Amino acid sequence: GGPRPLAGKKAIVTSGPTHEPIDPVRYIANRSSGRQGHAIAAALAKLGADVTLVSGPVEIPDPAGVTTVHVERAEEMLAAVVAALPADIAVMVAAVADWRVAAAGTQKIKKKPGEAPPPLLLAENPDILKTIGHHADRPKLVVGFAAETQDVEANAREKLTRKGADLIVANDVSPATGIMGGSRNSVRIVSRDGVDAWPDLAKAEVATRLAALIAERLAALP
Ligand code: C5P
């Protein structure tokens, strides 16, 4: 039950971390759980949207009522997001690795007695939000996240412009907040209209409110 203001609308959501291989058995990762992104995908579906969730490796189940595409690396995530276009809404929640290993080995790197540790040369990953925010087939409403440990609002405002987003959901991920990997979140919504600070909420409630805000904003667009 409930109103379905997003019926007939298509949404793409990214969630979770990416794993960037070093060799076939090792990878570089981060502490994202995918909880917030998965909850947003579910909340958009609940409002009637046709949702494609592009998820990095997570330990939580695929949300019901959503088409989930599983990827590992940032480059695969970008390809899956572009393949899901066109869409009305994009919500990029994934904690995409900024760098990948420049030449990931196809064989396990062997430790050889007496040899120095191998240097890990990194290459920059594509910025998925920025690519979608400036895409020829740009969704009408593009939402990004900004996980920061300092200058949260200033960083969010900078991302809004540089990445071509309509909304940035900013949160403080300093370890003391317990937000990363935790079940609660305390966010500020940054748009060209200003900043709206939400109270401390369960991630599911942040998702419900964000989905409602997205529906409202989309309805207000020409
Ligand atoms: O620049 P930063 O990583 O802090 O930006 C965060 C926002 O950009 C998030 O919405 C995240 O999903 C998105 N992002 C992305 N691709 C990247 C890096 C970040 O989509 N390579």
Complex confidence, ipTM: 0.96
Task: Tell me which residue has tokens 């370890």.
Answer: 175
**Tens of each residue's pLDDT in the chain, 222 residues:** 789 999 999 999 999 999 999 999 999 999 889 999 999 999 999 999 999 999 999 999 999 999 999 999 999 999 999 999 999 999 999 999 999 999 998 999 999 999 999 999 999 999 999 999 999 999 999 999 998 888 988 999 999 999 999 999 998 888 888 776 678 888 999 999 999 999 999 999 999 999 999 999 999 998
Please state, in angstroms and rounded to a whole number, the distance separating the CA atoms of residues 73 and 56.
7
Interval between CA 174 and ligand 1 midpoint (Å): 17
Q: Are 203 and 39 in contact (CB under 8 A)?
A: yes
Interval between CA 109 and ligand 1 midpoint (Å): 30
Query: Residue 142 CB: number of other CB atoms within 10 A?
Result: 25
CA distances from 197 to 1, 63, 173 (A): 29, 27, 15
pTM above 0.90, yes or no: yes
Interval between CA 91 and ligand 1 midpoint (Å): 11
127 lines ligand 1 (CB under 6 A): yes
Q: Is 126 annotated as a binding residue?
A: yes
- Which residue has its alpha carbon closest to ligand 1 atom 17? 127
List the structure tokens of 81. 């997001």
94 lines ligand 1 (CB under 6 A): yes
Question: If you ran DSSP here, which 8-state letter would residue 17 be given?
Answer: B
List the structure tokens of 193. 């209209």
Please state, in angstroms and rounded to a whole number, the distance separating the CA atoms of residues 166 and 143.
6
> What contacts 24+ positions apart, CB below 8 Å, involve 58-66?
58/15, 58/16, 58/17, 58/32, 58/33, 58/34, 59/33, 59/34, 60/33, 60/34, 60/35, 62/38, 63/38, 63/39, 66/41, 66/42
